[in-house]
Structure 1
Amino acid sequence: MSTKIKVAVAGASGVTGTSVVNALLATPEKFEVTALARPASVGKREYVELAERGVIITPVELCESDELVQALTGQDVVIECMTLNQLEQEKALVNASSKAGVGRYVPSFFGPCCPPRGVMLAREMKEEVLNHIKKLYLPYTAIDVGWWYQLSFPPLPSGRFKARFEYSTVEVVGDGNQPWAVTDNRDIGKYVAKIIADPRTLNKMVFCHNQIWSQNEALKLLEKMSGESIPRVYVTKEELESSISECEAEMAKSNQTDMLKLGMSQYKHLLGIRGDNTPEKAKYLGYLDARELYPEIEAIPLESYIQDMLDGKLKAPYS
């Protein structure tokens, strides 16, 4: 009988973490799953339910400490699914993983692909973590997943299909014809489960995506399936670049700005104007292609996601 891969997940109760844990638990003969949780959070419903499903809940603060090193000792893989607001905690997790001899560290990338510098501040922050990993020669795999289906649409006029405006590409970027890679966030874990068990992906970046759609194509599909007409709101290259420049000027003066406004402007610019988020660009940037590595993965098509939303089976993320 083969030895199980021991996987510790930080941020297991979040959207990405939930997708990862669900996929790992789907093959209990292959993975032993631990969720790292703040001691004050272990009694929360999310962690109680994870424990009931067989996840080991380890209470530990993500800070520089012997307790964190001890919690990670014996783990084969550590997967970080937290936000960029928790950058210092992630660096502490990296340091502890190195000291504990973890066999593979998966940093919190899980977004569109783009060059490491000069395109998006969030990407630069992620690259800072990756560079720290490399300074320690900690084995790693960085995984990007394109743009989520769940953040790709405006709401329907009827209200059957909702969206969180501040996190979503509700406007048509440019002319709407730029294709970009999209993924159902429920599928992220399927890719991760394959990648972390594959020696070919060690010390590599891997790009995952379900399908390629332009905004115009995706909106026409939603209109066809819903029977509703969706008003188009456009945002231009010039408007996005002006928004980015304003935010960067604020940062230069006071080191403070509206990070969500800056981040979404940069996301929209790289997706719909620059066209960074495609498998072809990912390969140029050095990524392996998960669709080529794992053709057996049954990815959820966009049509199925839309139908699930129309049927009320899903809700908008972060709502």
Structure 2
Amino acid sequence: MAKRKVLVVGGTGYIGKRIVKASLAQEDHITTYVLQRREMGSDIDKVQLLFSFKKQGARLIEASFSDHNSLVDAVKQVDVVICTMSGSHSGSHESLLQLKLVEAIKEAGNIKRFIPSEFGTDPSRMGHALEPGRVTFDDKMVVRRAIEDAKIPFTYVTANCFAGYFAANLSQMETLLPPKEKVTIYGDGNVKVIYVDEDDVALYTIKTIDDPRTLNKTLHIRPPENILSQRELVEKWEKLLGKELEKISISQEDFLASMKGLDGFGQTVVGHLYHFFYEGCLTNFQIGEEGEEASELYPDVKYIRMDEYLKLYL
């Protein structure tokens, strides 16, 4: 079988750099391309990261979202496009830039699979989400509709809670490090959520690009041993730490009331945490015929368990 040509858009971002790394690791089967956006020329960290990928064997393709023809030319060189641009958490609507990419893919007509930038909560289940955080999900659904209207082959990847943002800090706000004395518990702390190591997200994403079982479906990343309540996550940390933390529960009413006085981003964070830890939106449904579960499809992946993940923070 000929090597698959994969273009990563947003390859210097938080999840994008991991997907580039996972793609490069499959060099026997994949030729990795990374979009070099002309607009990023003044960001030294991103420029140096981009050229570090080139040293590792990635091919850089220069294009701009303000130049349709350059995007079409870029897309014509590959078989698969994976977009990892940042979302709309701050109300920037940056994820809607993907509509320009959709138009380019539609015109090029050669793409075998498009994976748009999602990697979080399934937006098709979040039509009821609280404002202002709802824009994140609404924008992703706009992109989904454009993809499907254009009849572009796709896979949507929902990765639930990134461990770096939700597990390392025991799901606390305003810190990315685990507390060592006291911890805030959302409600009774027993609602199940799903924590996933970001490198595992990238690996599952790369595995799906050629899999007919995930064509025009949603890949749900739900590693069974990482489906945990907040209290179960805290217990894992306490066992590693060798001490019990003071636990302060916050009711649903008080938590929602805490949105007052916050800026738009802060309100978005509170709203999303409400849906995860009080409503249980990540685990309160069964995967239907429109989806597949990653750890079932790829049992060979030895995904990172959260007690193993938390050892790093001791």
Normalised by the length of structure 1, the TM-score is 0.83
Q: Per the alignment, do residues 214 and 65 of structure 1 end up closer, same or farther by CA in structure 2, a change over 3 Å counting?
A: same
Q: How far off is 1:138 after superposition?
A: 1.2
* Counterpart among 57, 81, 92 of residue 54 in structure 1: 57
Letter in 2 for 1:191: Y
Letter in 2 for 1:277: L
Offset from partner CA, 1:141-198 (integer Å, 9 cap, x none): 1000111221224759xxxxx9872789974221111111110112111101111110
1:185 aligns with 2:194: no
Q: Is the 8 A contact 2:169 2:175 kept in 1?
A: no
Residue ranges of structure 1 left out of the alignment (5+ in a row): 157-161, 248-256, 311-319
1:227 aligns with 2:275: no
* Counterpart among 116, 120, 141 of residue 111 in structure 1: 120
Instruction: Tell me what 1:237 maps to.
Output: 252
Q: Per the alignment, do residues 167 and 50 of structure 1 end up closer, same or farther by CA in structure 2, a change over 3 Å counting?
A: same
Offset from partner CA, 1:263-284 (integer Å, 9 cap, x none): 2122212211111112x61515
Q: How far off is 1:95 after superposition?
A: 1.1
Q: Per the alignment, do residues 163 and 38 of structure 1 end up closer, same or farther by CA in structure 2, a change over 3 Å counting?
A: farther
Q: Per the alignment, do residues 51 and 284 of structure 1 end up closer, same or farther by CA in structure 2, a change over 3 Å counting?
A: same
Instruction: Tell me what 2:33 maps to.
Output: 34
Letter in 1 for 2:302: E
CA–CA distance in 1 between the matches of 2:273 and 2:173? 15
Instruction: Tell me what 2:296 maps to.
Output: 292
| 3-state SS of 1:62 partner | coil
CA–CA distance in 2 between the matches of 1:128 and 1:296? 34
Q: Per the alignment, do residues 154 and 74 of structure 1 end up closer, same or farther by CA in structure 2, a change over 3 Å counting?
A: closer
RMSD: 2.6
Instruction: Tell me what 2:210 maps to.
Output: 197
Letter in 2 for 1:21: V
Q: Is the 8 A contact 2:39 2:64 kept in 1?
A: no
Give the % identical residues. 26
Q: Per the alignment, do residues 263 and 285 of structure 1 end up closer, same or farther by CA in structure 2, a change over 3 Å counting?
A: farther
Q: How far off is 1:72 after superposition?
A: 0.8
Q: How far off is 1:105 after superposition?
A: 1.0
* Counterpart among 264, 269, 287 of residue 264 in structure 1: 269
Instruction: Tell me what 2:166 maps to.
Output: 152
Q: Per the alignment, do residues 75 and 148 of structure 1 end up closer, same or farther by CA in structure 2, a change over 3 Å counting?
A: same
Q: Is the 8 A contact 1:91 1:129 kept in 2?
A: yes
Q: How does 1:72-91 map to 2 (within 5 A)?
A: 72-84=75-87, 85=92, 86-91=94-99
CA–CA distance in 1 between the matches of 2:191 and 2:221? 19
Instruction: Tell me what 1:135 maps to.
Output: 149
Instruction: Tell me what 1:254 maps to.
Output: none
Q: Is the 8 A contact 1:154 1:168 kept in 2?
A: yes
* Counterpart among 210, 225, 230 of residue 215 in structure 1: 230
Query: Aligned pair count?
Result: 293
| 3-state SS of 2:311 partner | helix
Instruction: Tell me what 1:122 maps to.
Output: 136
Letter in 2 for 1:180: V
CA–CA distance in 2 between the matches of 1:260 and 1:168? 20
| 3-state SS of 2:218 partner | strand
CA–CA distance in 2 between the matches of 1:96 and 1:112? 26
Q: How far off is 1:215 after superposition?
A: 0.6
CA–CA distance in 2 between the matches of 1:140 and 1:46? 28
Q: Per the alignment, do residues 83 and 195 of structure 1 end up closer, same or farther by CA in structure 2, a change over 3 Å counting?
A: same
CA–CA distance in 2 between the matches of 1:109 and 1:195? 15
Normalised by the length of structure 2, the TM-score is 0.84
| 3-state SS of 2:275 partner | helix
Q: State which drifts further: 169-178 or 118-127.
A: 169-178
CA–CA distance in 2 between the matches of 1:167 and 1:81? 22
Q: Is the 8 A contact 2:10 2:16 kept in 1?
A: yes
CA–CA distance in 2 between the matches of 1:151 and 1:171? 15
CA–CA distance in 1 between the matches of 2:256 and 2:100? 35
Q: Is the 8 A contact 2:154 2:216 kept in 1?
A: yes
